[in-house]
Amino acid sequence: MSWGPCRFGEPVDTLQFLLRRAAWWEAFLRLEDLVEGATPDAEALAAGLGAMAVRGGVLWTSEVAHEQLGLCWQLAAILARAEEAPRVWVARGPSGGRSRSVGLLQPEEIASVVPRLLSPAEIERAVDLWRAWSEPTPERFADRARALRGDPLVGGLWSLLGRFPSARDGLTVWERRLLARLAEKADEPTAWTVGSVMVEGLDDAPDRVDGLILFAHMQELARHGLLEQVGGGTMSKTNFTVSDLGHRALRGQVHRLDVARLDRWVGGTHLTETSAVWVVDGDELRRR
């Protein structure tokens, strides 16, 4: 099994497999990285996946949202290059009672997974979700992802709606978790905060965020005045505390979008302070 094309049963270097996967996690969640060429091997990888449309191959997925979104993109690349119905197998990692990405699995766990052949309907459904995620407005993705919640192949994608600001306070799920943790543990080292927030999210939803991405979120919150930053550079040399503005945002007394500049991509949707901002209101996604 591999990220790129490989024949079923072909030996694979597990370390290289995991490293290559990790480099693409956030690329799927930040669509502009693919569009603007920040990942220069995107087309080469897509062409390699296209070979699977001809000779078959095995793709990986799990209960984790970015794994499922990555699978949707891979299937879209395969289908775009297929002259006839592709034969693609999928291997799904064991959850062990908790959603786990491939990076958290042991080599023997990976080797024990038995792939299954995807049906044409499953491929079409996944490709449609990727196309919806890529669109400049998120309504269709939100509708499709919610309708498919619980689906074994793409049922975790609904949790990506938490990447949009909340209608209540303008904070995303991950921003709110970071602020709440720092409000509770003001003197905690940054690495501990990041680790605690990562673990806290494991049981809540299939969405996952790498520690370095959480650190970048903290830096952004500091630039916008919701956190106060001491030091700089690496995570070990930087400390954060919640500002008065951050405490007010946590209590719902101020809306983040009213006091802090917004410039963020969620899939193909570019959220800016001058555009119509989409917010999550309960189970619904709407314009603010």
The per-residue pLDDT for range 49-94, each reduced to its tens digit, is: 555 555 556 677 778 888 888 889 888 888 887 777 777 888 776 6
Which residues pair with residue 98 across a beta bridge? Answer: none
In 3D, which of 68, 24, 65 has the Cα closest to residue 204? 65
* CATH match of 173-261 with 1.10.486.10: no
pTM here is 0.76
The per-residue pLDDT for range 3-48, each reduced to its tens digit, is: 333 333 334 444 444 444 444 444 444 443 433 334 445 555 555 5
When pLDDT is averaged across residues 174-184 and rounded to a whole number, the result is: 93
Please state the φ and ψ torsions of residue 128, each to the nearest 5 degrees.
-60, -40
Helix (H) or strand (E) holding 191: helix 190-200
Q: Is 286 exposed, middle or buried (0-12, 13-18, 19+ CB in 10 A)?
A: middle
* Token pair in block for residue 11: 């030996």
Question: Distance (Å, rounded) from C-alpha 51 to C-alpha 129?
Answer: 22
Domain residue ranges of the chain, discontinuous segments joined by +: 14-160, 173-261
The angle that helices 65-81 and 42-55 make with each other, rounded to 10 degrees, is: 70
